Amino acid sequence: MSFIPVDQQMEIIRRGTVEILPEEELIEKLKKSRKENKPLKIKLGVDPTRPDLHLGHSVILRKMRQFQDLGHEVILIIGGFTAMIGDPTGQNKTRPPLSLEEVRENAETYIEQANSILDESKLTLTNNYDWLGEMDFMDVIKLSSKLTVARMIERDDFSKRFENNEPISLHEFLYPLAQGQDSVHLKSDVELGGTDQKFNLLVGRQLQKEDGQEPQVCLMMPLLVGTDGSAKMSKSYDNYIGINEAPNDMYGKSLSIPDDLIYTYYELVTDVDTSELPAIKEKIESDPRNAKHDLAFTIVRMYHGEEAAKAAVKHFEQTVINKEVPDDAPEFQFETGEELRLLDIISETGFTSSNGETKRMIKQGGVTLDDKKITDKNYSLTFKEGDEFTLKVGKRNFGILKAK
């Protein structure tokens, strides 16, 4: 393996990063790596608290992929042990821990989706339950002695909860220590995390020093702002773009990104070459509308391929620009004489994930039948021979309802 020059590596590594602590140490590590022709160990720990990944998660996974492409050893740690503690980062209350079975189920889905970004053939996959689960109570006491309560309370989310007289459980203090112990066990050279993980990453650095190891460099990536343009991307805020979403939904959601975030998305979530970014920035400033369509196409192409991206463009032009029913709209057949609530029909189509979501869509005017907006959640249809209706749910879901 031959490594490209350090300045070229740093140009790629700096792309989109918020902070590298300390950057000069990373440069020295890269110089040594190149001289000895030995890859650095790049670590990312993830607690699979939820099974579905969105573009917000992809920011840090893409940085991992860049390290892979540079020839370094990338280690993805599934937090089989730490997920059962519950990361207190950003929490104003104790996060409920997960069971071992929940962690395993979520981890399988997480890994499957992460591999759409990472190079699976160059990925070292491990689980911190393998070493943290073997520690006895004395080991935990010894580990706890390496960090003071005063240092722990410096942490922003702990200090706020302490000042507000909100409870902090003792086990939450152990979380940064457990994550830091991962770095000691793996002898990591670099650990990646979001800006909200800075404290945890620095604890790992401190524990490595205590163990006599060369401390890791901490690389922080930004938290991606969601499609609403204000809050970080999250399923809870419904401002997310899932990496396994259907191409048409992915394309449409990408077009809802505010103009001032187009460049940020190009930089953080796409695979366009770093050298192309200046020209893209100019296009965004002069023609944001088409730059956003290019971005949407790029995102769909990355996860679904070129043909699916082209089909998503056609679907958008038909349904949104020309107000047409798409050629590939699915058909659903119902018994003649059968009376059904529209709510149940939509559930059968799978256009929404639950009756609750369907009710919200109807209330917000997001459901139409033959271009007539339906606002009554109890609206029902009786199918007569030859009946055919065009159903539209949201901006992108069309279906043809027919009587058998």
φ and ψ at residue 355, rounded to 5 degrees: -65, -30
Which residue has 């938290």 as its token pair?
A: 223
Phi-psi region of 272 (alpha: psi -120 to 50; beta: other; left: phi over 0): beta
3-state SS assignment for residue 58: helix
150, exposed or middle or buried, with CB in 10 Å at 0-12, 13-18, 19+?
exposed
Q: CA-CA distance, 285 to 263, in Å (whole number)?
A: 10
- Closest Cα to residue 247, out of 187, 313, 194? 313
One-letter amino acid for residue 45 of the chain? G
386, exposed or middle or buried, with CB in 10 Å at 0-12, 13-18, 19+?
exposed
CA dihedral 188, 142, 46, 209 (to 10 degrees): -30
- Closest Cα to residue 64, out of 75, 56, 52, 78? 75
103, exposed or middle or buried, with CB in 10 Å at 0-12, 13-18, 19+?
buried
Residue 323 among known ligand-binding residues: no
Report the sign of the C-alpha dihedral through residues 286, 290, 296, 298, in that order: negative
Annotated binding site: 235
Annotated binding site for ATP: 235
